[in-house]
Amino acid sequence: MQNFKSGKYINQGHYKSFQPNPINKEWLLEDMEILSLLSKADRQLGRLDMYSEHIPDIDLFISMHVLKEATQSSKIEGTQTNMEEALLDKEDVSNEKRDDWEEVQNYISAMSRAIDMLNEIPFSSRLIKETHKILLQGVRGEHKQPGEFRKSQNWIGGASINDATFIPPVHTTLGGLMSDLEKFTHNQDLFFPDLLKIGIIHYQFETIHPFLDGNGRVGRLLITLYLVDKEILKKPILYLSDFFERNKNLYYDNLMRVRSNNDLKQWLKFFLVGIIETAKKGVDTFDEILKLKQQSELKIQTLGSRANNAQKILQYLLTRPVIDPKKVEEVAGVSNRTAYNLISDLEELEILTEVTGSKRGKIYAFKKYLALFS
């Protein structure tokens, strides 16, 4: 990495685009700080992965991790939907927030479908395009070639290409660049740690910026897909968007430093710190979830004959911690009157809290559970 060259700027007339160098090549790593961080990141990921195996109903909690990732990754791009709003049904979202809400829902769908697709097709340009297609379906970027690599120049920052912060490579070179990225992903002849590999892949993808819209979200989504594809994680339980969003300026600055100063080391250090912090936080969150679940079940046992129906509601809330009376009827298989009684019981037990403040169309949230992901 000592002699790493990220690429070069090419004069395109009234602007200069950046042409990244290929990444499918031999890499030599001698930086002890990176090796130390890599060791810590491997340990923390292994701990998180092992931990997830012993959690009953792990898929219940994964849906909430995906939801958090969707809101945080979209937030980096300027979308304002929070987790509570993202859990609402479309008709319960105000018109001015509906576009943001739909973008978050698309991210959730894209992540879920991409994980499923890994069973059918490898981590590849095809997978990336299919994921992008779902991400942009029916939202603000739907006219920007969903599922297709761009056929024109794009740029990052600035009102126009003339004052852009960064101008990615010209579209005619995308095929070769994405092919190189794909080969690097699957090259078995190169011995290189997977966590560093996906760090470089993420940087290179964001530098190529192959789509007209949605590159940031797709690039962050690829991190989790890669970890699952390489069986570093058995389940998709690590998402870095929260770390990137909290350190947004550093995230962008470190990516840019690679292009401008060939400083790949600083980016990889930042990336590994993100994995370490996020994996640790993941274990802590799972601990808190299990405690809260156990406490809530003990409270529900005090309801006597109504406990069975209340338990059904709790199970639902662990997947989607916002509910209305109609959904209570459906989940518990009870009448409207019994549903309201159940809600009242769960309010008294401090499991549900009314969040709309309205006389009609009331919505209730499992706020203590939601808080664990805030």
Give the model's pLDDT for residue 170: 97
Q: Which tokens go with 109?
A: 């769908």
Give the model's pLDDT for residue 373: 86
DSSP code string of 224-256? HHHHHHTTS-SSS----HHHHHHTHHHHHHHHH
CB 289 within 8 A of CB 52: no
Give the model's pLDDT for residue 76: 84
What are the structural domains of the chain?
A: 7-20+30-285 (1.10.3290.10), 292-371 (1.10.10.10)
What angle separates helix 194-208 from helix 264-300, to the nearest 10 degrees? 110
Distance CA 297, CA 295 (A): 6
Give the model's pLDDT for residue 83: 83
Q: What is the pTM of this model?
A: 0.90
Give the model's pLDDT for residue 142: 64
Give the model's pLDDT for residue 130: 95
What angle separates helix 98-117 from helix 58-76, to the nearest 10 degrees? 130
Tally Cβ neighbours within 10 Å of residue 63.
Answer: 14
Give the model's pLDDT for residue 51: 81
Closest CA to 41 of 258, 230, 194: 194
DSSP code string of 113-152? HHHHHTTTS-SSHHHHHHHHHHHHTTSTTTTS-TTS--SS
Distance CA 312, CA 328 (A): 9
Q: Which residues of the chain have pLDDT under 70?
A: 140-142, 358-359
H or E element that contains 18:
strand 16-20
Distance CA 186, CA 294 (A): 43
Phi-psi region of 187 (alpha: psi -120 to 50; beta: other; left: phi over 0): beta
Q: Which tokens go with 199?
A: 């760090």
What's the DSSP call for residue 324?
-
Give the model's pLDDT for residue 107: 86
